[in-house]
Structure 1
Amino acid sequence: MQQCGIRIYNSHSHIRTRGSFMTSTSGFTGSFLRRPARRVALTAAALLLASVVGACGSGDGSAGDDSTLTVGFRYGFASFDPLANPAFTADFLLPVYDTLIVRKGQDEFEPGLATGWDYDPAALTMTLTLRTGVEFSDGTPFDAEAVKANFERGMAEKAGPWTSVFATFDRVEVADDSQVVVHLKEPLPSIVSDLAFIPGMMVSPEALQDTDALKNEPVGSGPWVLDSDKVRPGDTYPFVRNDGYWDPDAEVVDTYVMKVIADRTAAGNALRAKQVDLIGSDGLQAVQLEKEGFPIGSTGSMVYVVDIADRAGEVVPALGDVRVRRAIGLALDRQALLDAVFGGYGSPSSTIFPEGSIGYSAEVDEGVTYDLELAKSLMREAGYEKGFTVKIFVMSTNENIAAAVAGSLAEIGIELEITPVPDAGTFAATVADKQSPILIVASGLRSPWEIHTAFGGATGRYNPFGITADGVDAAAEEVMALADPTGAEAAAGYGDLMEELILTNAFIQPIFTVYTPVAMQDGVDPELETQAQTLPDPRTTTKG
């Protein structure tokens, strides 16, 4: 395979050195060159960003002064209510909301609003010890009652991106002002990861009294507050310093501005014109921007998945036949799709998790390959040789991926009629309303349990029809019963769970993993960790 030049930042030495390497997450090989030291850290899962080595250009300079950081973001946005947001719009929430736990790397976690956490031996009770002396931006104290209010609100939600997490909560008990106890109906292996993300974002209990107002007026305990008077909905969201923030060292800039720039060409031009300091990018664009001299980093990776949501054939009867669902997976030429959409910068995979990691399944790796003739044979066997039509909704940012998938499925007679929607809220509504029998989504979920919860669980946010299978449920129960969620038994158990989801029942069909690059002006210095959001954490992104 031809090697490409890679710009990369090492999390230990902070120096880009010369040599060849292979990431543990993709099997992609490349080379990288020496660069002056910077404070940019990547964990192993996010170390790779493929790019072509070009001559240095005029990427220096910044947008505005050093007290303002302006970033461009691809996705539309509808609400500051955390529970209304899917994973890929978490970036809008980070400036104003703290999480109970903080993710630092693939599987590393640190205290946030919770300073400690532990479980009972059966993993059915989690006790959180809370940080004291913290207030929400409206002056309401953060305490155990506030956590209980947030959790109970999540438990009461009937639909939404995070109902599957809170469905596992049985009750929440306030032990004292700084300690809260979560009683679970069954073990939740992903609970620490969940509380380090949107389900762990704490909203002022006063603001929870008016969730309609919360859509436009967020009230959290984070480093910044929304400057509502200067918001241009769908375009610009400025955040100003929260003077009462409990950790002033995290307020690395006075003003943080998020601009929605859905068009990649427009985003690149905004960076060139120094209208923004940093943009979320993609592999093809990052190649060109690096040639022009802009520093490139990566916040992690996204897995793109074809999710057959209508698994019982409620809307499209053909999708209730496992042979048809398997045919869909076999008709996807993953390498060709990756080349067409992202210029090959990523890793084609039917397994989600790479060999050697928890969640990898050799059976899936060998059993879900590109085999167009077998796919056509399964369609004939199922009685759908002439094909059928499926109307689907996709995020506008995923429209090109959906079009490429549609081209592949047309080879076996399946026609996708694609309707793009502009923002995450609209897309989530179409999912919840069962308007899209097939979903094409980008997932930043990091663990096999999170994948199961989102796609395989009966209340999963990408399982709107609520269809699961005995084999999926049995594999999940075996995993929950494990004493050690990281050992050899867990690796085998999670592998079995992925096999049930992808191969046996063919509920989901992973396409490829792509890296999530960011391009920036010289002088912008983010600390890049493997994380679920697209942009670097504003708390650790300096400018000067």
Structure 2
Amino acid sequence: MKRNSRLRRRRGAIALCAALATATLLAGCGGASSSSSTAATGSGGDTVDGNATLDIGMPVPQSLDPRQAPEPTQLTIGTWPVYDRLLQVGPNAQYEPMLATKWEFSPDGTTLTLTLRQGVTFSDGTPFDAEAVKANLEFSQKADKTAVQAYLADVAGVTVVSADTVELQLKKASTTVLSALASTLGGAMISPKALNSPNLATHPVGTGAYVIESFKPGQSVVYKRRTDEGGIWDPKTGKPASVTITAYSSLEAMDNAVKSGQADIVTWEGHKQPYQAQLDSGRLQTQPLSQALNMVGLNIKPSVKPYDDVKVRQAINHAINRQAIVDALQPVTTPRVQPWPEQLPGFDAARESVYAYDPDKAKQLLAEAGHPDGFDGGEMLVAQTGALPAVAQAVQADLAAVGIKIQLRSLDVYAMVTGWAKAPNPIQLMYMTLPSIDPYSWLQRLFVNPIYRPTGADPELVKLTEGVDDPSLTDEQRAAKVGEAVAHATDNALYAPLLQGIGGYVADGKVRGLDDFASVNGGVADFRNTYLVK
């Protein structure tokens, strides 16, 4: 139960992150002192509660050290209050300034020049400048065999030009470096004094509006607002006095938390019925995220029999009633057939008709593959988060109807990121997503990366992805190249996608900032602009 002092505060608002599109060079805005964080009036004219605690119900990682994160999503969820990034992705699916106010590629695309924000300090008093950027990037590059090292694989060197200018020499001309700089894996700036700290996993030190108060791995993390003079450079951030992020054991637990006032924001699967009375009274509100890039689907290992037969994989795609799953379990999402989100270049609406729900067609394909009576499909791993266990049961029933019998085994969603490559299971139900707007990075994530394609990538598909990151390509050329790769993956049924979108959030009625997204695509929740009103 919250402390009595918290019961007198209330609610907060959501700021999420929308992400997507091609690299765009934008100029930045100026800084602000920490005094702006306790401004009396919010953007809508409401009185900001500067003494409030914003309580968020979301998964909490086991470590806050970027070197120990297998991918950026979980790290961002737990560290957005303390770590600012060099770039961010805005609601118009474009890169936007954060700690870097502008950036520019050289004519040959092999050098990226960053102009840095001035007057920013880390919470330990260390100035943020070009030397700090160089120290961070080189530190990440030396983190052997880590995801953060892989994110910066294209960077050959870093040169300090001046206190507010740094150059990144690239191994090849590529747009993917922008994706890394907008991510917590590559773009999050840590105080140089803390880079080699043995406590970095539990005590992050950044330029953000908050400092850490306590951390229980996998359970909760608590941040309190910075009080040092000029410590909050962004006037839109730092309005709540503290932020608590808590992992709940189930959807029911989250529902009860937001209904009772224990939590201010929790994830939402899209159904209003459980909250209808509170929604009607204004006690609660919802925010759908139907345009998020996040996708969910079945990842299939084509090296495992009988999944090595394309007709079997195509049969699986025809057997699943995606619309029924969406209607029943994720009503604010969109059914998806091609393994590619709509907002990225290369998406083709016509491709969505390739695998219509057709159990008879599925049975025909299975018979042609030598399985007229179906087969034992083994065990499917299921991410134990949100509505995915219920989605898995629906998929299990659809496959059983055409003769494919599978068993379900739930795993922690974070464990599945690395566990899939080691597991013998032929299928997993998991997020198919990347917190990035770079199409080349998405192609690598879905079709090449051995973490997600542990039995090896399709050689033809690898060839089709080559050159997509060339900065000299026009938007039309890039979209055409991406489209060829996505078409190949769709025709060969390398995945059985289910839906796009992530439901959204349920928040207290006093939450503000729902229309001021800071980061959401790929499932990344960055609530930096969130504040509470009295």
Fold match (TM-score > 0.5): yes
Alignment deviations for residues 168-204 of structure 1 (CA, whole Å, 9 cap, x no partner): 3344444444333333334433433432222211223
Superimposed CA distance per residue, residues 367-410 of structure 1 (whole angstroms, 9 cap, x where no aligned partner): 23323333333333334554233334333113222222222233
How far does residue 456 in structure 1 lie from its aligned partner after superposition?
A: 1.5
Report the equivalent of 2:440.
449
Q: Secondary structure at the match of 1:261?
A: coil
2:213 corresponds to: 227
Paired position in structure 2 for 1:109:
95
Aligned to 2:24: none
Note the C-alpha offset of 1:284: 1.1
Alignment of 1:391-410 (within 5 A): 391-397=379-385, 398-410=388-400
Shift in Å, 1:454: 1.4
The correspondence for 1:86, drawn from 53, 71, 84, is 71
Question: Which of 113, 122, 127 is the equivalent residue of 2:108?
Answer: 122
3-state SS of 2:408 partner: strand
State the partner residue of 2:41. none
Give the C-alpha shift of residue 305 in structure 1.
3.1
Which residue does 1:419 correspond to in 2?
Answer: 409
Secondary structure at 1:215's aligned position in 2?
Answer: coil
Are 2:58 and 2:267, in contact at CA under 8 Å, matched by a contact in 1? yes
Q: Distance in 2 between matches of 1:531 and 1:259?
A: 18
SS in 2 for 1:213: coil
Q: Distance in 1 between matches of 2:516 and 2:225?
A: 22
Aligned CA distance change for structure 1 residues 355 and 246 (closer, same or farther; 3 Å): closer
Q: For 1:328 and 1:163, how far apart are their aligned partners in 2?
A: 36
In the aligned structure 2, how far is the partner of 1:454 from the partner of 1:242?
36
Return the letter of the residue paired with 1:267.
M
From 279, 282, 295, give the equivalent of 1:290. 279
Q: Contact conserved, 1:133 with 1:246, CA < 8 A, in 2? A: no
**Which amino acid counterpart does residue 113 of structure 1 have in structure 2?**
L
Counterpart contact for 2:294–2:341, Cα < 8 Å? no
User: Which residue matches 1:195?
Assistant: 181
Structure-2 change in CA distance of 1:138 and 1:432 (3 Å):
farther
Paired with 1:295 and 1:284, the residues of 2 have a C-alpha distance of 12
What is the one-letter code of the residue matched to 2:65?
Answer: D
Q: How far did residue 275 of structure 1 move?
A: 1.9
Instruction: Give 1:71 deviation, angstroms.
Output: 2.6
Question: 1:304·1:440 contact (CA, 8 Å) conserved in 2?
Answer: no
Q: Alpha-carbon deviations, 1:313-347, whole Å to 9, x = none?
A: 1xx333333333333222222112212322x3321
Q: Does 2:328 align with 1:328?
A: no
**Cα distance in 2, alignment partners of residues 374 and 540 from structure 1:** 49
Aligned residues: CA RMSD: 3.4
User: 2:315 touches 2:361 (CA, 8 Å); kept in 1?
Assistant: yes
Specify the SS of the correspondent of 1:296.
strand
Which of 84, 108, 131 is matched with 2:117 structurally? 131
Q: CA deviation at 1:498?
A: 1.4
SS of residue paired to 1:430: helix
Task: Map 1:249-288 onto structure 2 (within 5 A).
Answer: 249=235, 250-285=237-272, 288=276
1:67 pairs with 2:54: no
TM normalised by structure 1 equals 0.77
**Aligned-pair identity (%):** 27
Measured against aligned partners, the alpha-carbon deviations of 1:146-169 in whole angstroms (never above 9, x if no partner) come to: 333433444455655556533333
Give CA deviations for 1:119-149 in whole Å, capped at 9, x if unaligned: 1233232222223443333344433343334
Report the Cα distance in structure 2 between the residues aligned to 1:452 and 1:232, rounded to whole angstroms: 35
The residue number in structure 2 matching 1:428 is 417
SS at match of 1:96: coil
Structure 1 gaps of 5+ residues are: 1-37, 47-63
Q: 2: CA distance between counterparts of 1:411 and 1:148?
A: 57
**CA distance in structure 2 between the partners assigned to 1:183 and 1:101 by the alignment:** 17
Q: Of 422, 428, 436, which residue of structure 2 is paired with 1:439?
A: 428
The C-alpha deviation readout for 1:499-538, integer Å capped at 9, x for no partner, is 12222x3222321123532222222212432633454523
Q: Counterpart of 2:33?
A: none
CA distance, structure 2, for counterparts of residue 327 and residue 127 of structure 1: 49
Alignment of 1:500-515 (within 5 A): 500-503=488-491, 505-515=492-502
Give the CA deviation at 1:357: 6.3
1:237 maps to 221
Provide the C-alpha distance between the structure 1 equivalents of 2:301 and 2:341, rounded to a whole number of angstroms: 28
- Unaligned runs of at least 5 residues, structure 2: 1-11, 21-47
Number of the residue aligned with 1:491 = 479
Cα distance change on mapping 1:203 and 1:528 into 2, 3 Å: same
SS of the residue corresponding to residue 327 of structure 1 reads helix
Q: 2:528 maps to which residue?
A: 538
Where does residue 26 of structure 2 map in the other structure? none
Give the number of equivalent residue pairs.
Answer: 478
Q: How far apart are 1:81 and its partner, in Å?
A: 1.9
Larger relative contact order (CA 8 Å, sep ≥ 6)? 2
Q: Distance in 2 between matches of 1:454 and 1:94?
A: 23
State the 1:430 CA deviation.
Answer: 1.1
Q: Any conservation in 1 of the 2:136–2:190 contact (CA below 8 Å)?
A: yes
Instruction: State the secondary structure of the residue aligned to 2:419.
Output: helix
Shift of 1:113: 1.4
Task: Give 3-state SS (helix, strand or coil) of 2:120's partner.
Answer: coil
Of 397-406 and 287-296, more deviation after overlay is shown by 287-296
